[in-house]
Every structure is written in C-alpha cells, then in structure tokens.
Structure 1
Amino acid sequence: MPRITADSVEAHRVQVHRRVFDAFAALMAEHSYEAISMAQIAARAGLGRTAIYHHFPDKESVVVAFATSETERYLADLHGHLAATDDPVERLRTYLRHQLDPGQRFHMGLGPQLYGLLREDSLLQIREHVLAVEQVLADVLSGGRDAGALRFDDVRAAMSLVHACLTARGVPPDAVEEFVVRALSAERYGEVRQA
C-alpha cells in the first residue's frame, strides 16, 4: 500500500495526480508523446516505478485525466473572468485574451500530436473537452449577436474564423484581439443599438 502524504486519501490522490500531470506536461515539452514512458512520468513526479499504476493503468489514461484536469481548470478560470462583465464586446475580448495568454495554453496543443497514437475512445474523450471550450465561445458570440453588439451570419463559421485568428503565428496578441473585435463588431456596420 502506498504511503499517504496528505491529510486524507482523497487529498493524497489529488496531490499525486497533480504531480503526475505536471510531470507529464514537462516531459511533453521536452519529448514526443511516443518517447515518454510511464517510468519517466513516475520518476519526474517523484513516484516509485510501480506506484504510478495505483493511479493510472497506462500512459493513455494519464493523457485523458490530464486533459480533463486542464479543461476543468481552464473553464473555471475562463468563466470567472467572463462573469466580471455583461458587456458583449468585453466578454468577447475576455475570451480572446484568455486564449491568447501564454499561461492559458489549453491542452498545450496536444491534439494534433496525439491523432493516430491514441485509441478512438480516448480521442473522443479529449474532443469532448475541446467542445466544452468551444461552447463558451458559441455562447459569447450568440449573446453578443442577440444584444446587437456583434454581427455575423453563422455562429459555427464565426467560431472557426475566431479560432483561426487565435492560431496566427508571430502576430501580437493585441493585434489579434483588435482584428477579431473589429471584424465582428456591429458598430462597424452602424448597427449598434443606441442606449
């Protein structure tokens, strides 16, 4: 039985999982997914070679649990920031800033690296996390359009274009933010409702 290093079994589990996720993220920054072993993750997390298996049966389960943890953290932080304003344009800016913040790299861009390497059920679980974040943008855009502050015809198309802008390389975050807001702003079309 592994030694408990926290006040409760649950607190210990959370602590160990956080160490494993931090170790996995650090290893992914240094190596390809294929080059990382469970033994390396355990060593980086400060666990014995077999102790990690008390928490995760294999590397793929680490990836899915990591993605789940990152999604929960990311969404909680994003919703907290969005709750600070009712202004539709400021809510769009908040979403953009959150996505452009280097400290908020959602899932560390793991998706493309993992296609073809994970089982289909694992990829589907990770895709569900991406959809949860996309739903936030859909809600921000729809709310802005309903309020008359944003103008576009199709939510899905607008979401794709926003995310394409967010992946622009070498463009300063402020420039991306201004471009997207101006492109979607109803004011540009003289359609902002007068208060």
Structure 2
Amino acid sequence: MPKLTGGATTAEHKIATREAMLDAFIRELHEQGWQNVKLQTVAQAAGVSRTAVYNYFPDKSALLLAWSTREMDRFLLLAERELADRENPVDRIEILVKLTLVEFSLQRFTGIALVELLSAQDRESFLEHIVPLSVLVEQLVQEGVDAGVFVDSDAAASAQLILACVESRRPMLMAGDRVDTVVATTVPFIMRALGVSWPTSLTADPTDRPAHDR
C-alpha cells in the first residue's frame, strides 16, 4: 500500500486508495478494452500491489460495479444541485435531460454496453445502480402531473420511456455529435410526449449547457 501522506488518517488513506484504483481501472478500460483489463495492470497504474487490489475488489466486474456506482452518485449530486432552485416542473425535466445528455457526451464508453458480459448476479447489481435516476425522473414527472402541467399518466412508465429516449441518444453523443443539436431534438420530443407545448417561455434556452459544463 502507498505510504500515508502527511495529515491523512487511515480512513482517508483507504478512501484515496480506492479512488485511485477506480481511476486506474477506467483508464485501463479505455486503453485496453474489457477483455484485456487485468487486476495486475490496474494495481500498477494505481501504485499499489495486486494483493491490495484484491483487498478491495475480487475481480474486474466488482471494479466496474464500483466505478459505475461512484459515477451515478456523482451525477445525482450534480442533478440535485442544479435542480435545487428550480420549481417549474418543465424546467426541472429539461434540466435533468440536458444534464444526462451532456454526461453522455463526456463519456468514452458506456457501462451499459458491458453489462451483457457480466454474470447474471453482477448484471442485476449493475442495473440496480441506475434505479435512483429512474426514481428521480418518476418524481419529476409526478410533480408535473400533480401541478397540471403534464398530461395525466403513469409516472413510472413515463419515466422509463423518457430514460429510453435519452439513452437512445448516447451513441451519437459518444460519436461526437454536438450536445446542443441532440438537445434541440430530444427535449421537444420528451416535452410533447408529456403534453407540453414546445417551445415555451417558461423554460431556459434549450441550447444552454448546464452550469457544470460551461
């Protein structure tokens, strides 16, 4: 294990070591591809022993699950911050859709594409980390329905359809399509599906990038 830096507690050191392993894993995944990722090279890239990696993650599937969970947690915190001062349901759905599309544009690979390579148990665990995003979208849809802004519908089903629509935009964003172009076609489609006339002066300019990406 790396030596403790000045002022670092053991707990802080463990967190930093785990983070270094996850960062090393994603670099190896980008450079080598899933089939060629080895815990030994992840350990070398993170500056730890292979035994140290095994103390945290038994295999590369566990690394993928941990990395995906970390990224989802980070994204949800960002979304919470961006949505905090917005009350209009249309604004809130638009912002979340835009945040998600920007996130896709920054990714060099998708964990979703790897899910079929995982065992059934690991696949289930991987998909569970997406649930909080689905819950958030459902909550935003229900807010709009309750406010009479969105057409009355099953919020859970609407959330699934919205996420499927947004997910379908991921490949083109990862291929380099402009975010504002994708936003300009995706947001109106989702809004109209929710029963919102679009464009509307109640919402922000749909070509604006979220604050974290400016």
The alignment-based identity, stated in percent, is 25
Question: 5 Å matches for 1:1-195?
Answer: 3-5=3-5, 7-102=8-103, 109-115=110-116, 117-166=117-166, 167-168=168-169, 169=172, 170=177, 172-187=182-197
Distance 1:27-1:183 versus aligned 2 partners, 3 A rule = same
The alpha carbon displacement at 1:76 in A equals 1.4
**CA distance in structure 2 between the partners assigned to 1:140 and 1:105 by the alignment:** 24
- Is the Cα contact below 8 Å between 1:148 and 1:186 reproduced in 2? no
Letter of the 2:68 partner, please give it: A
Runs of 4+ in 1 over 4 A off after TM superposition: 103-108
- Is the Cα contact below 8 Å between 1:98 and 1:104 reproduced in 2? no
- Is the Cα contact below 8 Å between 1:74 and 1:106 reproduced in 2? no
Distance 1:102-1:25 versus aligned 2 partners, 3 A rule = same
Distance 1:134-1:46 versus aligned 2 partners, 3 A rule = same
Residue ranges of structure 2 left out of the alignment (5+ in a row): 199-214
Q: Tell me, what secondary structure is at the counterpart of 2:151?
A: coil
TM-score of the two chains, using structure 1 as the length reference:
0.82
- Is the Cα contact below 8 Å between 1:60 and 1:118 reproduced in 2? yes
**CA distance in structure 2 between the partners assigned to 1:156 and 1:108 by the alignment:** 28
- Is the Cα contact below 8 Å between 1:23 and 1:44 reproduced in 2? yes
- Is the Cα contact below 8 Å between 2:68 and 2:111 reproduced in 1? no
Please give the per-residue CA displacement for 1:142-193, whole angstroms capped at 9, x wherever unaligned. 11111111125333442233223322335522321233223324447xxxxx
Q: Tell me, what secondary structure is at the counterpart of 2:81?
A: helix
The alpha carbon displacement at 1:103 in A equals 6.6
Q: Tell me, what secondary structure is at the counterpart of 1:172?
A: helix
Residue ranges of structure 1 left out of the alignment (5+ in a row): 189-195
Q: In terms of mean alpha carbon deviation, does 4-13 or 154-163 score higher?
A: 154-163
Q: In terms of mean alpha carbon deviation, does 175-184 or 82-91 score higher?
A: 175-184
Q: In terms of mean alpha carbon deviation, does 94-103 or 163-172 score higher?
A: 163-172
**CA distance in structure 2 between the partners assigned to 1:49 and 1:81 by the alignment:** 39
**CA distance in structure 2 between the partners assigned to 1:103 and 1:4 by the alignment:** 36
**CA distance in structure 2 between the partners assigned to 1:20 and 1:104 by the alignment:** 24
**CA distance in structure 2 between the partners assigned to 1:107 and 1:74 by the alignment:** 16
Please give the per-residue CA displacement for 1:94-127, whole angstroms capped at 9, x wherever unaligned. 1101111137868952123132x32333222221
**CA distance in structure 2 between the partners assigned to 1:187 and 1:21 by the alignment:** 44
TM-score of the two chains, using structure 2 as the length reference:
0.75
**CA distance in structure 2 between the partners assigned to 1:161 and 1:79 by the alignment:** 21
- Is the Cα contact below 8 Å between 2:57 and 2:63 reproduced in 1? yes
- Is the Cα contact below 8 Å between 1:150 and 1:186 reproduced in 2? yes
Letter of the 1:113 partner, please give it: L
